[in-house]
Structures are given as structure tokens and as C-alpha cells.
Amino acid sequence: MKKILTIIVALFLTVGAYAQIVTPVKWAYAAKKTSSTEVTVFLKATIDAGWHIYSQHVKDGGPIKTSFNFAKSKDYSLVGPATEPKPETRFEKAFNMNVSFFEKEVIFQQKIKLKSPKVTAIKGQLEYMTCNDSKCLPPEDVNFSIPLGK
């Protein structure tokens, strides 16, 4: 009986160790008013060493690209697509293609035209995928709310 109990405890400890959630990317947000009717929002990914996330511009058949879905509102509109700095590009065997990605940190920007002074935050959801040299984590959806301040 003692032997069975020891096996069960060891099994739970092993499963618990594998159940730890790996979160190599942390997101932060900010906004800057550039005029009385325009604001730029910043979506910053801080990426742990050895990991990377992908550009918004990845060809079909590759990894999940980083994307932003801003909530629809009659009080504001997007001015063009979100922008990003120049990514690194290299061939990845896992996808059998060249892919563009970011390591350490990246700041995406989105210009927004305000149609109402009562807008207090820009909300939405982003999707991204992170990989290192040996594995990729499942794509993740992150809800965000970026306060505009006064």
C-alpha cells in the first residue's frame, strides 16, 4: 500500500511540474495624443531570452503572425494598419521558409482618429505565437484596454 501511495504522489508531482505555464512574452500598452483628434497607441512585447514572436507580415504556411483586432467604435477609427520596426528574417526549418520575427522587445504602433472627446480607452485583442529554437507554444489571444488619459 505504501508503494502505491508513493507512486501516486510521484505521479502528481511529475504532472504538476509539467503543468507550469510558460509565458515568455509580456505585453504593455501606452497612448500618446498627437493632436486634439489623433492618438497613437503603443503595444510593447517584452520577450524572454531565446524566444521570439513573429511579424505581422508572415506568408501563408508559416507561423501565426502577430495581429491586432481593435474593437469597432463610432467614436474612433484606425488610421492605416498597425506599424512595426524592421524585423529579423531567417530560414526556419520548422516552417520550411524564411520568416520575420522579433527578439527581446518590439513596439507596434497604431494611429487612431478620435471622433468624440468622450473616448477614454482603446480596446481590442491581439494574437501572437512565440517560439524558441526547439519548440513553439500555441498561439495566444490577449485582450487589451489602453487608457487615453486626458
**138 lies in a domain?**
yes
Question: Which residue, among 61, 59, 79, has the nearest Cα to 70 in the 3D structure?
Answer: 79
Q: Look up the domain containing 30 and give its range.
A: 24-147
The number of beta carbons lying within 10 Å of the beta carbon of residue 139 is 15
Residue with cell 498597425: 82
Question: Which residue, among 92, 101, 91, has the nearest Cα to 53 in the 3D structure?
Answer: 101
Kindly report the pTM of this predicted structure.
0.84
What CATH number should be reported for the domain holding residue 64?
Answer: 2.60.40.1250
**114 lies in a domain?**
yes
**8 lies in a domain?**
no
CA 146 vs CA 37, 123, 140: distances in Å = 16, 6, 19
Strand partners, 145: 123
Give residue-wise pLDDT tens across range 45-91: 999 999 999 999 999 999 999 999 999 999 999 999 999 999 999 99
